[in-house]
Amino acid sequence: MRERILVFGGSFDPPHQGHRALVEAAKEKIHPDRTIIIPSYHSPWKNKSWALPEDRFQMAKLAFPGAEISRVEMLAGRLVYTVDVLGRLKKENPDSEIHFVVGSDLALRFKEWKNPPRLRELAHWWTAARPPFQGRIPRFFNVISSAMPEISSTDLRVGFLMGEDRSREVSPAALKRILKRGLYGTTIIPALGKILKAERLTHTISVATLARKLAPIWGIDSFEAALAGLLHDAGRSVPISGMKSYCQKRRLRVPLFREISAYQPILLHAYISEDLSKRMFEIKTPEVLKAIRNHTLGAFNMGDLERLIYVSDACSEDRKYSEAAKLRKLAEKDPSRAFSECLNGKIRHAVSLQGWIHPLPIQLWNSIIL
Ligand SMILES: [Fe+2]
Ligand SMILES: [Fe+2]
pLDDT in tens, the chain (370 residues): 789 999 998 889 999 999 999 999 999 999 999 999 998 876 655 556 678 888 999 999 999 999 999 988 877 777 788 999 999 999 999 999 999 998 888 888 889 999 999 999 999 999 987 666 667 888 999 999 877 788 888 899 999 999 999 999 999 999 999 999 999 999 999 999 999 999 999 999 999 999 999 999 999 999 999 999 999 999 999 999 999 999 999 999 999 999 999 999 999 999 999 999 999 999 999 999 999 999 999 998 899 999 999 999 999 999 998 899 999 999 999 999 999 999 999 999 999 998 899 999 999 999 988 7
| Cis, bond preceding 14 (omega within 30 deg of 0) | yes
- Which residues 6+ apart lie within 8 Å of 179 measured at CB? 186
* Structural domains of the chain ordered from first start: 4-151 (3.40.50.620), 187-369 (1.10.3210.10)
- Which residues 6+ apart lie within 8 Å of 150 measured at CB? 18
Q: Of the bound ligands, which one is closest to the alpha carbon of residue 313? A: 2
Ligand 1 centroid–CA 216 distance in Å is: 23
Q: Note the Cα 269 to chain centre separation in Å.
A: 24
Ligand 1 centroid–CA 295 distance in Å is: 6
Ligand 2 centroid–CA 166 distance in Å is: 27
pLDDT tens by residue, 80-108: 889 999 999 999 999 999 999 988 888 88
Nearest-Å Rg of the Cα atoms of the chain is: 24
pTM of the model: 0.90
Q: Of the bound ligands, which one is closest to the alpha carbon of residue 270? A: 1
Ligand 1 centroid–CA 232 distance in Å is: 6
As a whole number of Å, the end-to-end CA separation of the chain is 73
Q: Can you tell me the distance from the alpha carbon of 267 to that of 273, in angstroms, rounded to the nearest whole number? A: 11
pLDDT tens by residue, 116-142: 999 999 999 999 876 666 678 889 999
Helices and strands (DSSP H and E) totals, the chain: 19, 6
Q: Can you tell me the distance from the alpha carbon of 17 to that of 103, in angstroms, rounded to the nearest whole number? A: 13
Angle ∠(229,19,1) on CA atoms, nearest 5: 160
Residues with beta carbon < 5 A to ion ligand 1? Answer: 233
Predicted confidence at residue 98, as pLDDT, reads 97
